[in-house]
Amino acid sequence: MRLSYGWAVVGAGMLLTCLSVGSMFSLAVFKDPLSAATGWSQTGVSAAMTIDFLCMGFSAFVWGALSDRFGTRAVVLAGSVLQGLGLVLASRATSLLEFQIMFGVIVGVAAGAFYAPLMATASGWFENNRSLAVALISAGMGASPLIVAPTTRALLDAYDWRTAMLVIGIGLWVLLIPAAMVIRRPPSAAPTAPGLVAPSDGYTLSAGQALRTPQFIAIALTHFCCCAAHSGPIFHMVSYATACGIGAMTAVTVYSLAGLSGLGGRVLLGVTADRIGAKPVLVAGLLVQAAAAGTYLFVGALGEFYALSVVFGIAYGGVMPLYAVLVRDYFGPRIMGTLFGGVSAMASLGMALGPVAGGWAFDTFQSYNWLYIGSFGVGLGAVAIALTFRPLRAAPPAAKPRLA
């Protein structure tokens, strides 16, 4: 019974993360027609996405605390209502600042309610399939370009940007609220006092102690640089392809192909990591990601875009679940929610850099070249930090539980 309902939680979590992340990333498709219709600059519109990631990162800790107290269902239900509201209000915005507040702040805060709480909850439902459950929740995010981006483009072909965004906001309420009701707190033993970790499972660090370890800092910084390296190329992929002479709807298929490849990458790199370990697979994936970001400087034809989307998607999608695996391997399941929430917050800060950097590069130089040069350099930085990962020193046999 526990196993079967756990899969229902995973399925609902995949839908929640897919539509939440997808609706936020729909700004990549909205950006050009929205800027043309309103006269708002590319930098100003892209800044809304940067605000999204900043708010998502900072709110993740708050949502995590609320999840611990009230349960994940209450948190994702609140996030579902709030995210739909943000899109509905953004569709009525009459100024750039108002749009940045509605789409950037409200949608960003709402988006923080989903990924880390659902990853922690899904992992708690399983004894033997925990890594698979976590990978599937992450795969929900990877599926968003396949579902939300083409839907957004089709709505923009039929309606103006305001109507299209309004429809997406209402659609979120219709789909996310019922899915949120499926989420349940996993069966567990009696709760442990905050910050107290029993040593019986071999993991003796409290959350406070773990947050100060070089291993946590290295994982968090790697995820930050990883996301900073791929967020710009992802967000500006449609605009760059369009600027190279590719049609708007076809450019969306390039973006969608990257998302589809990301799904395959999660499975491919996940299976490989089970065989040879998460660290070497992560390092290799980050290296391919950096090389792919730099390769955007040299593509222009549709076939080249498709080929690069496959490689880039496999790399950036495949490495994403590995951070959760590393957190659990290093620190155990008891404090995974807290620590992965911290890692996810750093990832959100990294994701915040790419959209506005790309918008600034285009407005300043009328070209995305400096975006891809910067992404290549930051991607190599992620590789360098990942190479510093070292195992935690074993705790003394007589180690006792301690409060953070």
Please give the pLDDT value at position 2.
45
What domains can you pick out in the chain, each with its CATH number?
A: 1-185 (1.20.1250.20), 202-390 (1.20.1250.20)
Res 391: pLDDT: 72
Q: What is the pLDDT of residue 379?
A: 96
Residue 7 has a pLDDT of 87
Out of 14-28, 89-103, 321-335, 356-370, least confident range: 321-335
Handedness of CA 142, 377, 352, 166 (dihedral sign): negative
Give 3 or 41, the one with higher predicted confidence.
41
Would you state the structure tokens that stand for residue 313, as one six-digit string?
A: 């998607």
The pLDDT assigned to 103 comes to 94
Identify the CA nearest to 211 among candidates 336, 59, 25: 336
Q: Is the dihedral of CA 38, 43, 46, 50 positive or negative?
A: negative
CA geometry: angle 20, 247, 355, nearest 5 deg: 40
pLDDT in tens, 7-46: 899 899 999 999 998 899 889 889 889 998 999 988 888 8
* 256: three-class secondary structure by DSSP: helix
Higher pLDDT, residue 136 or 77: 77
128: confidence class by pLDDT, cuts 50, 70, 90? low
Alpha-carbon distance 71 to 81, whole Å? 16
- Residue 221's pLDDT band, with cuts at 50, 70 and 90, is very high
| Statement: residue 191 has pLDDT above 60 | no
State residue 327's pLDDT score: 83
- Per-chain mean pLDDT for the chain: 84
Asked if 142 contacts 266 with a C-beta cutoff of 8 angstroms, the reply is yes
Mean pLDDT of 242-248: 89
Q: CB neighbours of 248 closer than 8 A, spacing ≥ 6? A: 32, 153, 238, 242
Asked if residue 333 has pLDDT above 80, the reply is no
Separation of first and last alpha carbons in the chain: 35
Q: Label residue 107 exposed, middle or buried (CB < 10 Å: 0-12, 13-18, 19+).
A: buried
Structure tokens at 98: 């108002």
What tokens appear for 35 in the block? Answer: 């800027």
Distance CA 40, CA 90 (A): 14
Name which of 362, 372, 345 is nearest 44 in CA terms.
Answer: 362
Tell me what the mean pLDDT of segment 231-247 comes to. 89
Rounded to the nearest 10 degrees, the angle between the axes of helix 72-90 and helix 42-70 is 160
The alpha carbon torsion through 55, 33, 149, 114 (nearest 10 deg) reads: 10
> pTM of the predicted model, to two decimals?
0.73
Q: Which residues contact 30 (CB under 8 A, 6 or more apart)?
A: 152, 156, 161, 164, 165
- What DSSP assignment string belongs to 212-243? TSHHHHHHHHHHHHHHHHHHHHHHTHHHHHHH
Residue 39 Ramachandran class (φ > 0 left, ψ -120 to 50 alpha, else beta): left
CA–CA separation, 318 and 139 (whole Å): 9
Give the highest mean pLDDT range of 69-78, 126-135, 258-267, 298-307.
Answer: 298-307
- The candidate with the shortest Cα–Cα distance to 167, out of 104, 107, 90, is 90
The model's confidence at residue 199, banded by pLDDT at 50, 70 and 90, is very low
Highest mean pLDDT among 68-82, 111-125, 179-193: 68-82
